[in-house]
Structure 1
Amino acid sequence: MKTVLETIRTGTPWLEKAGIDNARLNMEHLLAKVLNCRRMQLYMDFDRPLSESELAPLRDLVKRRRDGEPLQHLLGSVEFMGRDFLCDARALIPRPETEELVEKIVARFRGPDALPPPAAILDMGTGSGIIGLSLAAAFPDAQVVLADLSPTALSLARDNAAHLSLVSPRLSFIESNLWSALGNHQFNLVVANLPYINPAEIPALSKEVHHDPVLALDGGPNGTALIEQFLDSLAPHLLPGGLAALEVGTGQTAALAARLASLGFTSISAAHDLSRHDRFLFASAPDA
Structure 2
Amino acid sequence: MLTVLEVVQRSSAFLEGKGVESPRLNAEWLIAAALGMDRMKLYMQFDRPLKEAELAEMRSMVARRAKREPLQYVIGTAPFHELDLKVDSRALIPRPETEQLVELAIDSLGENDVPYRIVDLGTGSGAIALALAFALPRAELFAVDASRDALELAQENALRCGLQNRVTYVLSDWFSDFDPEGPFDLIISNPPYLTDEEMKTAEPEVRDFEPLSALRADREGLSDLEQIVRGAFERLKPGGILWLETGIGHRSALLDLCSEVGYSDCLGCDDWSGRPRFIKATR
Same fold (TM over 0.5): yes
Counterpart AA for 2:138: D
Counterpart AA for 2:100: E
Counterpart of 1:249 in structure 2 is 247
Name the SS of the counterpart of 1:136 in structure 2: helix
Does residue 130 of the first structure (1) align with residue 127 of the second (2)?
A: yes
Matches for 1:111-150 after TM superposition, within 5 Å: 117=114, 119-150=116-147
Choose the corresponding residue for 1:195, options 182, 192, 196. 192
- Kindly provide the CA deviation profile for residues 86-135 of structure 1, in whole angstroms up to 9, marking residues without a partner as x: 0000001111110111112122234xxx6984510000011110001100
Counterpart of 2:83 in structure 1 is 83
Matches for 1:221-240 after TM superposition, within 5 Å: 221-240=219-238
Provide the C-alpha distance between the structure 2 equivalents of 1:222 and 1:181, rounded to a whole number of angstroms. Answer: 26
Provide the C-alpha distance between the structure 2 equivalents of 1:136 and 1:154, rounded to a whole number of angstroms. Answer: 16
Name the SS of the counterpart of 2:141 in structure 1: strand
How many angstroms does 1:184 deviate by? Answer: 5.3
Counterpart AA for 1:31: I
* Equivalent pair of 2:12/2:23 in contact (CA under 8 Å): yes
Counterpart of 2:201 in structure 1 is 204
* Equivalent pair of 1:30/1:75 in contact (CA under 8 Å): yes
TM-score (norm 1): 0.94
* Equivalent pair of 2:112/2:136 in contact (CA under 8 Å): no
Provide the C-alpha distance between the structure 1 equivalents of 2:48 and 2:179, rounded to a whole number of angstroms. Answer: 59
Choose the corresponding residue for 2:172, options 162, 176, 197. 176
Counterpart of 2:54 in structure 1 is 54
- Kindly provide the CA deviation profile for residues 167-217 of structure 1, in whole angstroms up to 9, marking residues without a partner as x: 11x421001111111225421010011000113432332211121111101
Counterpart of 2:158 in structure 1 is 161
Counterpart AA for 1:119: Y
Provide the C-alpha distance between the structure 2 equivalents of 1:56 and 1:239, rounded to a whole number of angstroms. Answer: 56
* Equivalent pair of 1:199/1:221 in contact (CA under 8 Å): no
Provide the C-alpha distance between the structure 1 equivalents of 2:46 and 2:198, rounded to a whole number of angstroms. Answer: 43
Structure 2 residue runs without a partner (length 5+): none
- Kindly provide the CA deviation profile for residues 26-76 of structure 1, in whole angstroms up to 9, marking residues without a partner as x: 101110111111111101111111122111111111111011111101111
Choose the corresponding residue for 2:261, options 263, 266, 276. 263
Counterpart of 1:280 in structure 2 is 278
Moved more, 267-276 or 72-81: 267-276
How many angstroms does 1:24 deviate by? Answer: 0.9
Choose the corresponding residue for 1:216, options 202, 214, 217. 214
Counterpart AA for 1:280: F
Distance 1:231 1:225, change over 3 A: same
Counterpart of 2:101 in structure 1 is 101
| Identical aligned residues as a percent | 40
Distance 1:164 1:231, change over 3 A: same
TM-score (norm 2): 0.95
Paired residues, number:
281
Q: CA RMSD, aligned part only?
A: 1.5
Distance 1:235 1:184, change over 3 A: farther
Name the SS of the counterpart of 2:158 in structure 1: helix
Name the SS of the counterpart of 2:177 in structure 1: coil
Distance 1:184 1:41, change over 3 A: closer
Structure 1 residue runs without a partner (length 5+): none
Counterpart AA for 1:74: V
* Equivalent pair of 1:198/1:220 in contact (CA under 8 Å): yes
- Kindly provide the CA deviation profile for residues 258-287 of structure 1, in whole angstroms up to 9, marking residues without a partner as x: 1001111011111111111100111111xx
Provide the C-alpha distance between the structure 1 equivalents of 2:209 and 2:90, rounded to a whole number of angstroms. Answer: 10
